[in-house]
Chains A and B, each alone.
Chain A
């Protein structure tokens, strides 16, 4: 396992013993510090040569292997879409025929020179759709990193220290969580952008807005996991050995509570795209001359509809739908793979069944079959290191 050398064996083993829902015969040393689990690297979505030693470290392959039937199809579709999206984002200038701000005659219909037509402002829709991937990727990566950096440590501190800090933070986070994410994002956007415009300000404002929306989720997950983890023997051992609270929190507990974070990250990535598009649609976008953003383009395309000009809205919209579907499919598959007990063999398993399994698990009398169903089969026995797999 590639993750093993990154985690002190002592913590890893203790974690495997400590976490009730993980089978004992699968020592999961996948607890990487969150820094290793960031998404920007594209996965080798294609089947990397499986001949020779099947290195479990290859992103994607082990993940795909551990899936079956319908779930595998869903995962593959998701991976292909996301890989395509990342490639488009990175190579946008090479793929797009024109720049996002090149002007042509307005409202040209679809043609060979303008596959998706042009907008009222005279921009090439095809090029803008491709460059939109770049904006979206930048915002998502920034937002996910920021929410991790802020949300996870807050969760660990709150869960570990407890007392009034915990109560106050939980109250604030719950209040933020209950609020419609779009409204919150708007308010934060206004505060961050401060009437300034430009591509960088636009991207940063969007990312910060989305971050504030997501912090409560990372906070909750980490806090609850920390509360469970802090009564584990390895924490006591560290304390007895004289480790300071800060060290216990960030060297011992953090690596062990970060397992659920990759799933949350993928699920959040899709929501981030939707929030970004929603912001853009309400006019909190980036000026068309400085970057391309799908939601903002849809906003500008609204009046075109009445004139029967459909291509200015349909293509950016489809781009959003497609990428959100891709990320959602990966997120759901990842959820199952990283929660092996929730997986049943041979059938289509999604987050839904996972939830059912966990609910059934709660009843003592039904726990038996669910546990049996996950008896590690050869291919699944060594769960992939999610630190690597989590890279969509």
Chain B
């Protein structure tokens, strides 16, 4: 017994180590690709300010920022800065690290709310579809899933804005909080940049409501997209589980179908959903860029698209690099959790 545990512990440690070592080349490859692709267009200063500054000033700034050095030297400097946690300075003289710390939490908050929507919508619907396999419920739920896969997240966002904020006037159409509330939220003793936590800090319930009201539409837009994926996953895994021996055994013992689904099959069917969460995070961050732009939700995606339209490629490079690191680490963590939860994952 003890021996078995020990060897499985060793296997786990080995698996974790291999997985961790693989994070490094992944991030390095992405960072390298981003660096060189963005540099193909020329140096960031000309890209952002070309035509707006006299040539001699432009040249002076290029020289000062080191953009006249050979590209390989610049690349080395970039990697060196990155290792020291320096993601560069934007054209409007802000540190990208500062932007990441200030607006990263906003994106995290949006992803969190969306995940709640995705779980609340996706899992029950997927379960219902599997339970009523090939019946009306199944067909309509699957149609729903296809439609939400097919609808671009920004179009769903625009429609939600149109219906609930322009036509019905129930919910705010953009931003993370009303201006008055936002000012209050920025002045709490411990500014987490996560507004819902800040709102609780103020102790003012109307602030909490305001923050929640602003979150509903963006969370729905991004959450429904993800829910489409969840429906598919839960449905297919539950259907598969419902065909296994232990479920047949339960049915043979006379357990009702409802109980078979809820007590025997359902939990087992959820394990693979956790497994694909790692990939979902990349998808959700991509979706968050569009959602944040649609709802002027000031997170990393919003600022990324802001800096893109200003052609500030230092900022773009910094934010994209940070996102690459976040994604690689997140998928590492999720694999780790999987390995801990499900012994079959280790190899």
Contacts and interface: CB of A to CB of B under 8 A. Distances in A.
A305 B163 CA distance: 10
A255 B130 CA distance: 38
A191 B134 contact: no
A374 B232 CA distance: 24
Interface in A156-187: 171-172, 174-176, 178-183, 186-187
A281 B37 CA distance: 21
A175 B290 contact: no
B29 A191 contact: no
A356 B236 contact: yes
A328 B41 CA distance: 36
Given A175-B33, A298-B158, 20 more contacts: A70-B134, A178-B282, A179-B324, A180-B289, A180-B323, A183-B323, A187-B37, A190-B37, A190-B313, A278-B154, A282-B308, A306-B173, A313-B162, A317-B152, A325-B146, A328-B146, A347-B134, A350-B142, A352-B239, A366-B243
Nearest to B167: A308
A362 B316 CA distance: 45
Contacts of B152: 274, 277-278, 281, 295, 298, 317, 320-321
B186 to A, nearest CB: 25
The A interface, classified by DSSP as helix, strand, loop or mixed, is helix
A355 B166 CA distance: 43
B293 A180 contact: no
B337 interface: no
A329 B47 CA distance: 43
A340 B167 CA distance: 49
A282 to B, nearest CB: 5
B282 A179 contact: yes
Interface string B42-66: 1000010000000000000000000
B37 A178 contact: no
Contacts of B320: 183, 186-187
Size category of the B interface is 35 or more
Given A70-B139, A171-B26, A283-B308, A360 B40 contact: no
Interface in B118-172: 134, 139, 142, 146-147, 149-152, 154-155, 158-159, 161-162, 166-167
Which A-B residue pairs are the 4 nearest by beta carbons? A180-B286, A324-B150, A317-B155, A191-B37
B331 A178 contact: yes
A283 B134 CA distance: 42
A305 B158 contact: yes
B285 A187 contact: no
A356 B327 CA distance: 29
B20 to A, nearest CB: 15
Interface string A278-316: 100111100000000001001001100110101001100
Size range of the interface on A? 35 or more
A301 B313 CA distance: 26
B294 interface: yes
A270 interface: yes
16 contacts: A70-B134, A171-B29, A175-B26, A178-B327, A180-B282, A180-B323, A180-B327, A183-B323, A187-B34, A274-B152, A283-B305, A317-B151, A320-B151, A325-B150, A352-B235, A352-B239
Given A191-B40, A270-B150, A325-B150, A181 B158 contact: no
A182 B290 contact: yes
A310 B166 CA distance: 10
A187 B34 CA distance: 7
Contacts of B154: 278, 281, 298
Nearest to A182: B286
Interface string A178-206: 11111100111011001100000000000
B236 A352 contact: yes
Contact of B25 (A175, A283, A350): A175
Contacts of B41: 190-191, 194-195
Contacts of B286: 180-183, 278
Nearest to A281: B154
B155 A298 contact: yes
A183 B328 CA distance: 14
Contacts of A188: 37
Contacts of B34: 187
A372 interface: no
B290 A348 contact: no
A355 B328 CA distance: 27
Contacts of B166: 305-306, 308, 310
A174 B29 CA distance: 10
A317 B158 CA distance: 9
B5 interface: no
A359 interface: yes
Nearest to A363: B244
B38 interface: yes
A283 to B, nearest CB: 5
Contacts of B232: 352
Contacts of A186: 308, 316, 320
A318 B283 CA distance: 22
B38 A191 contact: yes
